[in-house]
Amino acid sequence: MRFSASEGASWLPAPGSIIAGRYRVGRVIGSGGMGAVVDAQHVQLGESVAIKFLHPDLASDADNVQRFVREAQATSRIKSEHVVRMFDVGTTESGLPYIVMELLAGHELGHLLAQGPLPVGLAVDCVLQAAEALAEAHLAGIVHRDIKPSNLWLSHRPDGSPRVKVLDFGISKLIEPSTTNTKLTQTQSVFGSPTYMSPEQIRSAKHVDQRTDVWALGVVLHELLSASLPFEGDNVAGVLAAIAADAPRRLRQARPDAPVELERVILRLLEKDPSKRMLLGELGPALRPFATNTGAISADRLARVARGLVSMLPPAPASSAGPPAASVTQRTDAPTPRNPLWRFSVLGGLAGLLLVVAFVGMAATAKKAGDETSPSASASATSSGITMPPPTISALVEPVPSAAESAAQPAPTATPQPTVSASGTARKPAPAHSRSQVVAPSAVPAHAERPPEISEDRK
């Protein structure tokens, strides 16, 4: 569900109005599946913030309100520089639930992907920083369940080095029994994006653990490095069946200059059997040789943070693995032959999901005209008072250190360096993209070419 600018004027607080005696409302900077986001300013402190409002059509349902508030509760439990900060929650006098959060400058990673594959160092750094956030989340008992490039936000630190923040914990799962709401678990309405789902998540969104986020990181890393996906299909059904039944496409098929060992790391992240999948604690040391100086610091920090995660893992269910995935030591680039009978059974098991997908697709088509009038985040960039250089890849990457430099753990490089390929060959700077955006988390819709998100009402 998406709401246009004209609709927003009728139900959102007017610009200049004061919320909770503290926040002066500004312009609408984006809309999403549950409502809209405006920029605002703290009256006393003068700090710029973002306020996310739940649409009144959804606010009439108590479960929707609880899910909305749970996003803020889950996010606020994660103390990481790579997670969006939550400041406040409340309800307006007219009954609109809202969340006050950090206002971000930058772009989602999907904007850089539009320019082509990322340099190895930058792609690895982004995934390591996202993994840091996920390790903190998992230690807090939270599984994200929707990691994808549009939920990874790239901004800059004061020294100019890239910083990734994980967005949208709205469909996260609290894995401690004492804090899980049974009704919300049973009626979870949105449970992920098909392209990035793990095999176990396809079967049941309710019975996943931290390893489902690890799988999604593997898909994202493959995509950042190759501008392609490890599992593809002609439609959502084909994608889901490929995830469940097929070996992933090798990274070096799409990017021959990629290091062989980096390809092996991705294959370990994409093990279909969760019990054989790489853990976050292993990911730091595995990716460190391919990271920049800044990324090497993230890799070491990730290894320390993730030490306590192994003891939190439940045993994998006997049915968690589909057909055996290709061995990570296998040298051939030939994909594993597909088993027609297995594919038939997978498609049969996904029939219910596909009915929902078809319905979502028809609804999205019907709303297309309305979506085209939705407020763009970039339109509000100039009103925020924050400007950034265009997000070209060459402005973000720094050279990958040698093994000796990695061991020395040097301080982060403050000045951005020219783009380099995995082999060290200089690349021409990518063309400048659109102006930097200043938007709030979840304010930018996913790319249109991606398969639609799936809705679920499971009992």
Distance from C-alpha of 230 to C-alpha of 219, rounded to nearest angstrom: 7
- The boundaries of every CATH 3.30.200.20 domain in the chain are 5-102+373-379
Q: Are 418 and 360 in contact (CB under 8 A)?
A: no
The per-residue pLDDT for 118 is: 96
| Residue whose C-alpha is closest to residue 296's, from 399, 393, 223, 213 | 399
Q: pLDDT (tens digit, 9 = 90+) per residue, 416-457?
A: 444 433 333 434 444 443 334 444 444 433 333 444 444 443
The per-residue pLDDT for 366 is: 41
First-last CA distance in the chain:
23
The per-residue pLDDT for 135 is: 95
**Superfamily for the 107-348 domain:** Transferase(Phosphotransferase) domain 1 (1.10.510.10)
Query: Please, which pLDDT band fits residue 173 given cuts at 50, 70 and 90?
Result: low
Choose the most confident range, by mean pLDDT, from 231-245, 324-338, 343-357.
231-245
* More confident of the two residues 63 and 265: 265
The per-residue pLDDT for 159 is: 86
Q: pLDDT (tens digit, 9 = 90+) per residue, 5-43?
A: 444 457 899 999 999 999 999 999 888 767 899 999 999
Mean pLDDT of 108-133: 95
Q: pLDDT (tens digit, 9 = 90+) per residue, 58-117?
A: 998 998 898 888 888 888 889 899 999 999 999 999 999 999 999 998 999 988 899 999
Choose the most confident range, by mean pLDDT, from 171-180, 303-312, 398-407, 417-426.
303-312
Query: Of 146-160, 252-266, 347-361, which gets the smallest average pLDDT?
Result: 347-361
Whole-number average pLDDT of the chain: 73
Q: Are 281 and 112 in contact (CB under 8 A)?
A: no
* More confident of the two residues 311 and 212: 212
- The boundaries of every CATH 1.10.510.10 domain in the chain are 107-348
The per-residue pLDDT for 453 is: 45
The per-residue pLDDT for 205 is: 75
Query: Of 196-210, 282-296, 310-324, 359-373, which gets the smallest average pLDDT?
Result: 359-373
Q: Is 428 annotated as a binding residue?
A: no
Cα 401–407–408 angle (5° rounding)? 85
Q: pLDDT (tens digit, 9 = 90+) per residue, 357-396?
A: 444 344 344 434 444 433 333 333 333 333 334 455 544 5
pLDDT at 190 > cutoff 50: no
Mean pLDDT of 393-421: 45
Query: Please, which pLDDT band fits residue 44 given cuts at 50, 70 and 90?
Result: very high
Q: Which of 39, 125, 146, 168 is catalytic?
A: 146
Q: What is the pTM of this model?
A: 0.68
Which CATH class for the 5-102+373-379 domain?
A: alpha beta
Does the active-site annotation cover 146? yes
* More confident of the two residues 159 and 439: 159
The per-residue pLDDT for 5 is: 42
